[in-house]
Structure 1
């Protein structure tokens, strides 16, 4: 029997949510997904999982691979191509990202504003670092737990930062995730003062990040550059990683302003914020 379309009080269709969860997990598992593993990972009954998979296969969003495994189909791949094309950062910002990755040899990310959300625009993975499941181009969630987002929020007017945080679910993703609004605002004040943000296993266990914001011509925060590393390695090289993301952000700010790639002359993040 076809499952009815049920909605929460906020109008969210749970059937659609489950279908998207299945599609996202198939992509994350990179050709290793099966109906049984998806059922176990997502807490779905096997029959419901099969029903969702048949629908996604019929629409071309997933395909069956040799050995009974599942992968992204042409419909899903087309969505990915359109997403990447719409979010590709300008070439000069991509070049800064590549330089950051080569300098640190860690996974590097650039984020920016897209339709009012702080959005992951592009990343370059490190061979020696584990991937972050579920974090891909276009990701906008969990701003409270990600250094890349807090680095930007710290330089917004307080009422705007508060509005963004109130729109987030403030999920506890790890034992170290900070979910208290007052403590988050205190952290934003500290980030604005020192010019960078860190995530110490707040988004994913065993993974740490450093991030610094870059600014537009009017001194408003336009996005951030971030690197991630396993916790043990991050602890040994945090100072160097912070310096690397701050330099990348300064270069991007100058390129946007048309000053060339040099460091800003005597301009601190707090001055840029006041000027904006």
Structure 2
């Protein structure tokens, strides 16, 4: 199993550390066993050298992720509890953010969204359609790309660390020749400074003609950019209701930041 995982990683082209791969596979195996396994069981079932298994076991035991019982059998250790609590908290936060986006859609009757940075992309995480008859199509959870045009992308890019921001921006202009890309990047960086000073981003039909969006940044309890929420709809309707929409979005952004701050202190 361990060697299969390593082979799968190699095929994907994603660089990985073999030792980390094996340690994670070791923990997954112990966690999945109905009864505590022995080190010999791990070695045989994962097709790993017994000496390698002992090295992995000692490391994981020292860190508290594996517990060696009195009879020598292995069980998941208490350190896993910290990971579980963090994961459970994240699930709770995600559910509450989804609820906030539903509130925003209800308050504005427009399609509401929440997006977050992930690696070298800004990903649409939550999408709630508005109740008005004329709505925007083509949106879906998991959508990425055009971060330099999308209101959510601009709202997030304006506050990202410069190295991460540059990686995302370069991907946006990867189809241009080097001089053209350099000019486009320079213009965008200047625009992002203006967005940061204003405090929110606006897509006035750059992504799709006739469609506008407002994106408002959301920060975690440490002041780090966490994501962006906002609404999207037909340009004329968005223009007529701009001030009202911005007020609702700002209120929901503040509510989300309060949620994130509380989550970090519990």
Q: Is the 8 A contact 2:93 2:263 kept in 1?
A: no
Residue 156 (structure 2) aligns with: 152
Residue 147 (structure 2) aligns with: 143
Distance 2:95 2:223 in 1: 21
1:146–1:258: structure 2 CA closer, same or farther, 3 Å change rule? same
Distance 1:126 1:246 in 2: 18
- Give the alignment partner of residue 200 of structure 1, picking from 200, 204, 207: 204
RMSD: 2.6
Unpaired runs of at least 5, structure 1: 1-86, 173-178, 261-276
* TM-score normalized by the length of structure 1: 0.56
Q: Is the 8 A contact 1:147 1:211 kept in 2?
A: yes
Q: Is the 8 A contact 1:142 1:171 kept in 2?
A: no
- Give the alignment partner of residue 136 of structure 2, picking from 121, 131, 134: 131
Unpaired runs of at least 5, structure 2: 1-90, 177-182
- Per the TM alignment, residue 170 of structure 1 is displaced from its structure 2 partner at its CA by 6.8
* TM-score normalized by the length of structure 2: 0.58
- Give the alignment partner of residue 250 of structure 1, picking from 241, 244, 254: 254
1:41-71 alpha-carbon deviations (Å, 9 max, x no partner): xxxxxxxxxxxxxxxxxxxxxxxxxxxxxxx
- Per the TM alignment, residue 114 of structure 1 is displaced from its structure 2 partner at its CA by 3.3
1:95 aligns with 2:116: no
Distance 2:95 2:209 in 1: 33
- Per the TM alignment, residue 222 of structure 1 is displaced from its structure 2 partner at its CA by 0.7
Equivalences for residues 141-180 of structure 1 within 5 A: 141-169=145-173, 180=184
Secondary structure, counterpart of 1:145 in structure 2: coil
Q: Which structure has the bigger radius of gyration? A: 2
Residue 21 (structure 2) aligns with: none
1:206–1:253: structure 2 CA closer, same or farther, 3 Å change rule? same
Q: Say how many residue pairs are matched.
A: 168
Q: Which structure is higher in helix share? A: 2
1:217–1:112: structure 2 CA closer, same or farther, 3 Å change rule? same
After TM superposition, what 4+ stretches of structure 1 lie above 6 angstroms from structure 2? none
Secondary structure, counterpart of 1:180 in structure 2: helix
